[in-house]
Structure 1
Amino acid sequence: MGGPAQDSGSTDSAHLEPYWAELRAGLRSDIGARMFDQWLKPARLGAYCPMTETLDILVASEFSANFVSAQFGDRLRLAWRSAHAGVRDIRIVRAPEASALRVLAVPAPAPEAVAAPARAASCFQPRHDFESFVTGESNQLACSAAQAMAAEEQPRFTPLFIHGGTGQGKTHLLHAIAGAYLAHTPGSTVVYMSAERFMMEFVNAMRANETMAFKARLRAARLLLIDDIQFIAGKGATQEEFLHTINELVENGARIVISADRAPQQLDGIDPRILSRLAGGLVADIQPANIDLRLAILEAKRLVAGDPPVPDAIIDFLARSVRSNIRELEGAFNKLLAYGQLTGRTIDMEFAQAMLADTVRANARRITVDEIQKACAAHYRIDPAEMRSKRRARAIARPRQVAMYLAKKMTPRSLPEIGRIFGGRDHSTVIHAVRTIEALRESNPDIDADVRALLRQLES
């Protein structure tokens, strides 16, 4: 969302207009004429970057970009991918000027110029840099390896293989590597493409008897980045060419970065020689973001979000409710902000729960009070039966209070229900436990560390 449209390093998107017309008709039917006419009818195609297969969709203002991205971004992205038009990603952006809601007529480069350095730099999204990549335990290795691959000094390893689930930040790191590398080596040739595009261009080159030009273009790269390598599984001829390409680039001292949704040894249908080459470099995984990283990501977004303000309680609610991936977490935040701007509503808990009801339901994993009791008992090394006993010794009472506190935060159980599960206690006992642990988390670092560790364990 937001930001300027892509510049002259990108190409004319006129060839995508027929697809856009068809997609608009389907979108109008899906979301209703009123919403379509208000938000999507004025939108126009902007620049298209064949290198990253990213298309700009232009709207009239920053506010419109935020709202359309939050409300319709995923739907538009899926629609374009389903159209098989060579568009893997979209950016919904403010038009460069009020009169610029039109197709940007930028001359398309010759096929050989796709990897030209002057054009390559503009294809990478500036917002996907290392500074905006929030790190935590789950992605620190991948980020550090990516920075080493982008540094001026020759890296000690190649290729770099980054794997992780959808929406966890792999593509962000690939863009960051390219941007940082081109910043200190602007004369170098950088080639970025999805594995799907690699396959498509190779097949087209064979049909047109232009395989030598295809080989020459890729093997001239000083930095090659291939996204989603799992999509060439089972494609024998494509894999053979890919293997020869990376072998020659490694021999020539080029840098190679590959991403996938799983580790090399788990890639079914991939030539063992490719897997051996990939595993011979550095393999770095990105695990799902834990609660601390999700909070840090949301805090970074809040710092630059502007009005309306997003309270701490809402940040905590989002971090605990949206656990599937970072992209969905950021989308939920953007949706709240856009709706707040649109309606003038204060972003409070009632508003957040109403706007994100579907998202929260999709992410819900039912954690039971019994799970919480067992986790707390194991953490504090007491018998699980003590959670329901009448003993009041501090070594028993404090773990029991922590468990009550977590039961209140992590389950939909009412206070009386929680009290009954903890040995038939009154709801006032649960209230006292919750308030006690809240106060201790502020004053006692050990208790706060215990609670954080239990939250991570239970949410994993």
Structure 2
Amino acid sequence: MTQEKDGAEMRDTARLDAAWSSIRAGLRRDVGARMFDQWLKPAQLGDYCPDSQTLDICFASDFTANFVSGQFGDRLQMVWRHAGVGVREVRLVRAPHMLGPRLLDLTDATPAPASGPMEPASPLSNFQPRHQFADFITGDTNQLAFSAAKGMAGEAAPRFSPLFIHAGTGQGKTHLLHAIAAEFSRHSPGAPVLYMSAERFMMEFVNAMRANETMAFKARLRAARLLLIDDIQFIAGKGSTQEEFLHTINELIDSGARIVITADRAPQALDAIDPRILSRLAGGLVADILPPAVGLRLAILEAKRAIAGDPPVPDSVIEFLASAIRSNVRELEGAFNKLIAYGQLTGRPIDLEFAQSMLADAVRANARRITVDEIQKACAAHYRIDPTEMRSKRRARAVARPRQVAMYLAKKLTPRSLPEIGRIFGGRDHSTVIHAVRTIEDLRQSNPDIDADVRALQRLLEG
């Protein structure tokens, strides 16, 4: 009887894990990568009761569980009920086992005592202990960022601060941030560490001003001996937030604290960011992470295969994945995990035909990813203007029309939102992008030359 029960539990676990993988992919697509990565990605499946068909989804703090419940609770209930895996009720709960090293979190942190040395407050709510330096596979495209991150985390004082890491989505920036935090906390367990996204920084600062608690906010920030800020591009155009951020990093640098900042592009390409902040960021070490070359993709997959267990993954599938999923490490690992999960769930051997069938959508999505930067350069070259004019404030027709064409193509050929496109084009408002798109749409109907230009540029970009 015990063996039957154990077997049923294992089948439940496999079924729920496979469903969770699919649900997570859908949530990330529906709520957006930024919200998903900050609030939903750290969630883990907890206890499941087959009698009541109740599933626990675990978070590392009550605050996070409550926030996710308020924002996404109904959606989670709905998607699990429709997943067909025997879940009727979802509970969002705090799970103490998820707590990582002693990191500060602005929401859960408590002020230090009035006297005596400041001790770190409660652990970081979305810390991910699985991200370690030992698990980060290196190659030519990420070696500098990896080495710089290890130097920042080491026992000896780093030779530079801040460290600025820039890369596209899914290339390993956040992995390195968590690895730095974990390594630093191991040799300096009493030193306060603060990790947060730039969006969270902005939200907490605004809340502190509204609650008349800015002094407490500043004290918590400036108590950190290691400050890690993810996706700094999201404070673009936020004047008061940028001013507070500048004062914070100035004080921390002067006090000898370590600072690590990430973004999706280099400091000089960040639009609507205070030049004083850019100067500070560029004054340390700037390291980029480029999309993984095929050799690195193969190494990542080999490392995954070594710990995956059954069913076995043949070399032909590894080579197929490495050649087909080129955009970023996260998608590459996700494709591999999907194959393993479905293979375990269905009992079907993983062969090349199975992999090609299961990953057809991912392969199509990786066929060609066009960036706004590519569009700007192509349009600048086509119209024979300096590429910097795409972000300039000049309104002369010779500059404004190519810029409008580039905005139109950015909206048509990339997944970027209107506000994101506006920020990349010199910090412009989303209404400017809307106007540009409508203008070019109208001109394509009435002006054959503009229509020909757009068609030629689109053919060039789609390659």
Q: TM-score of the superposition, structure 2-length normalised? A: 0.62
Q: Does 1:68 align with 2:19?
A: yes
Contact preservation (8 Å) 1:223, 1:254: yes
Deviation for aligned residue 1:100: 7.6
Deviation at 1:224, TM superposition (A): 0.4
Task: Give the distance between the partners of 2:286 and 2:227, measured in 1 at CA.
Answer: 16
Offset at residue 333 of structure 1 (A):
0.5
Residue in 2 aligned with 1:213? 216
Shift of 1:229: 0.1
Structure 1: gaps (5+ residues): 1-58, 367-459
Aligned to 2:304: 301
Q: Report the CA distance shift for 1:292/1:69 in structure 2 as closer, same or farther (over 3 A).
A: farther
SS in 2 for 1:226: strand
**2: distance between equivalents of 1:68 and 1:142?**
35
Report the counterpart of residue 366 of structure 2 in structure 1: 363
Map of 1:261-340 to 2, 5 A cutoff? 261-340=264-343
Partner of 1:153: 156
Matches within 5 A, 1:36-185: 63-64=14-15, 66-81=17-32, 87-91=38-42, 93-95=44-46, 101=56, 102-104=91-93, 111-113=108-110, 117=120, 119-120=122-123, 123-185=126-188
The letter of the residue matching 2:141 is: S
Cα deviation for residue 71 of structure 1 reads 2.0
Measured in 2, the distance between the counterparts of 1:295 and 1:303 equals: 12
- Give, as a single letter, the amino acid of the residue that structure 2 aligns with 1:72: I
Contact 2:222-2:252 at 8 Å conserved across structures: yes
Shift in alpha-carbon separation, 1:303–1:105, aligned structure 2, 3 A: closer
- SS of residue matched to 1:292: helix
For residue 394 of structure 1, what is the aligned residue in structure 2?
none
Indicate how the Cα distance of structure 1 residues 308 and 299 shifts in structure 2: closer, same or farther if over 3 A, else same. same
Residue type of the partner of 2:93?
L
- Contact in 2 for aligned 1:81/1:88 (Cα 8 Å): no
Question: Distance in 1 between the 2:34 and 2:296 partners?
Answer: 35
Select 2:345's aligned residue among 342, 346, 353: 342
The one of 245, 250, 257 equivalent to 1:247 is: 250
Alpha-carbon distance change, 60 to 360 in structure 1, aligned in 2, over 3 angstroms: same
Checking the alignment, whether the CA contact within 8 Å between 1:218 and 1:245 is kept in structure 2 is yes
Q: Distance in 2 between matches of 1:290 and 1:352?
A: 21
1:95 and 1:144 map into 2 onto residues whose CA distance is 36
> Which AA in structure 2 matches 1:73?
R
Could you say what secondary structure the match of 2:316 adopts? helix
In structure 2, the CA distance between the partners of 1:133 and 1:340, relative to structure 1 (3 Å rule), is same
Give the direction of change, closer, same or farther, for the CA distance of 1:60–1:196 in structure 2 (3 Å limit). Answer: farther
The partner residue of 2:263 within 260, 263, 276 is 260
Q: 1:64 to 1:92 in 2, by over 3 A?
A: farther
Aligned to 1:445: none
SS at structure 1 position matched to 2:164: strand
Closer, same or farther in 2 for the Cα pair 1:111/1:105, shift >3 Å? closer
- Where does the alignment leave 5 or more consecutive residues of structure 2 unmatched? 1-9, 57-90, 97-104, 113-118, 370-462
Aligned-pair distance for 1:210?
Answer: 0.8
Q: Distance in 1 between matches of 2:37 and 2:321?
A: 34
CA deviation vs aligned residue, 1:35-70 (integer Å, no higher than 9, x gap): xxxxxxxxxxxxxxxxxxxxxxxx996534641353
Distance 2:195 2:23 in 1: 27
Deviation at 1:364, TM superposition (A): 1.7
**TM-score under structure 1 length normalisation:** 0.62
Which amino acid in the other structure matches residue 110 of structure 2? A
Whether the 8 Å contact between 2:194 and 2:221 is mirrored in structure 1 is: yes
Whole-Å separation in 2 of the counterparts to 1:82 and 1:256: 24
Q: Displacement, 1:80?
A: 4.9
SS in 1 for 2:133: coil
Q: In the aligned structure 2, how far is the partner of 1:356 from the partner of 1:281?
A: 41
State the partner residue of 1:193.
196
> Residue 60 and residue 148 in structure 1: after superposition, are their counterparts in 2 closer, same or farther (change >3 A)?
farther
1:86-135 C-alpha deviation (Å, 9 max, x unpaired): 94442353426869834435799974339973633674212111011000
* 8 A Cα contact 2:15 2:345, kept in partner: no
Q: Is the 8 A contact 1:65 1:92 kept in 2?
A: no
Q: Deviations over 1:180-217 (max 9, x none)?
A: 11111111111111000101111111111111111111
Superposed CA RMSD? 2.9
Q: Mean Cα displacement is larger for which, 276-285 or 76-85?
A: 76-85
- One-letter code of the match for 2:21? A
- Contact 1:121-1:182 within 8 A present in 2 as well: no
For the structure 1 residues 266 and 110, does the alpha-carbon distance in structure 2 shift closer, same or farther, using more than 3 Å as the test? Answer: closer
Q: Which moved more, 1:84-93 or 1:355-364?
A: 84-93
Task: Give the secondary structure class of the aligned counterpart of 1:91.
Answer: coil
**Does the 8 Å contact 1:77/1:88 carry over to 2?**
no
